[in-house]
Structure 1
């Protein structure tokens, strides 16, 4: 049964604009408007029990993310997936609200393979004391996580993001949301196969190469980590179906 406007407004949470953004973004990405015109601002305000200003701001934010476009005499239209900003953290999260996709997982890791080995090589050349310390701290968290003393997912992500920052290249650092999302998805997938989140020895090899300023070894070690994930994806395509059922 559909929620009435009062119930719907309550479901959006305390921040009505972001709640509406999240609600509509999920609907768009999961195909709710494939065969239905996107509602007008007046219709949305009535359906969701919010003001026109809240609606207008949420629609503006969705437009900035590439999900919507406003055209004279045509109203607000849902844009094709090719127009979506896939580097936006919200869009990435909404994509993962759809059914699990082995193809999407492979695409995430293809992007990682183009970014992270290069970032590791740069970190070996450019990382300062703070950057090295952050990488070391990330690895220490991974070790602690193996002993049940930290969160395995958060620790692994912290290690990889520290390397992006240590590269001293602001463009690599801007990929943090994509890399974090790709890692979350990859780790859940690999857990189904290996029963653990990370190969500590492989990650230590990256850390050591960066600390000793060996850029080639850092590139190679990071490429090996991501290559192992790509091999698991290629060798276990049927796990996509089991993930959909979860």
Structure 2
């Protein structure tokens, strides 16, 4: 995965690289909400880029809700509530050291979305899409525990379900799921057992979809994600008990 990421980074335009640099500083808290960025001249010099590249980067960050520029007051970091957290770049800028609370919120969002997506897939998936899920599951089985193949095959499986839902909005959540899986993979200290233990849950989801049973697909995906969240709470030193039942998650 790292080689792919480096190739992608190498292909970026200069203003995209600058946007990535500044965006990562904002998301990590090095630049806090309310902070005023240095002047254009100073920032251009410190980053060793042209003012044109810097201006384009500022436009990118403004469009994502991270900053705002006003005459006389300069460019200021906006409150986190204004950020477009579902933007693929903003999600990726939370890594390599994601805030645990942010990662946990991502998993809660998955718990809201994916059980219903699995139910939709059980009804709408084409034979080709079900075959793709079968292949994705068996690739998970073959993935060597402790390697990035575990994360990659898991991602392909879940994205396959999003695709099989037949709903374009559901498909757009792929990056959110990818970010959550990357974070879980990097945080987890469960070792090979965590991957192996999850395989029956994934197979149960696949089986329910292939058998065209939406309620079973919803239930099995819900159980899979609840167990994932319990494991994450343990990793983060949080109480395993939570308010999911009160909320209805």
TM-score by length of 1: 0.83
Partner of 2:139: 141
**Distance in 2 (alpha carbons) for counterparts of 1:31 and 1:148:** 30
Aligned partners of 2:118 and 2:161 also within 8 Å: yes
- 2:175 matched residue in structure 1: 177
Change (3 A) 1:94 1:213: same
Q: What secondary structure, in the 3-state scheme, does the structure 2 residue paired with 1:77 have?
A: strand
**Is the 8 Å Cα contact of residues 145 and 191 (structure 2) preserved in structure 1?**
no
5+ residue gaps, structure 2, are: 1-8, 239-249
In 2, distance between residues paired with 1:53 and 1:103? 36
- Over 3 Å counting, the alpha-carbon distance change for 1:161 and 1:52 in structure 2 is same
Per-residue deviation, 1:63: 0.8
Q: Which runs of 5+ in 1 are unaligned?
A: 1-10, 240-246
Distance 1:193 1:14 in 2: 35
Match of 2:119 in 1: 121
Equivalent residue runs for 1:223-234 within 5 Å: 223-234=222-233
CA distance in 2, matches of 1:158, 1:12: 25
- What are the residue-to-residue correspondences of 1:1-246 with 2, within 5 Å? 15-34=13-32, 36-98=35-97, 100-146=98-144, 151-192=149-190, 195-197=193-195, 199-238=198-237
Counterpart CA distance in 2 for 1:20 and 1:30 is: 15
For 2:91 and 2:207, the matched residues in 1 are separated by 32
TM-score scaled to structure 2, two decimals?
0.82
| 1:56-85 superposed Cα distances (whole Å, 9 cap, x missing partner) | 111111111111112233221111111111
- Summarize deviations over 1:192-233 as a string: whole Å, max 9, x none: 366433511111111111111100000011111100012223
Residue 29 and residue 12 in structure 1: after superposition, are their counterparts in 2 closer, same or farther (change >3 A)? farther
Q: How many residues align?
A: 228
C-alpha RMSD of the superposition: 2.5
Q: What's 2:6 paired with?
A: none
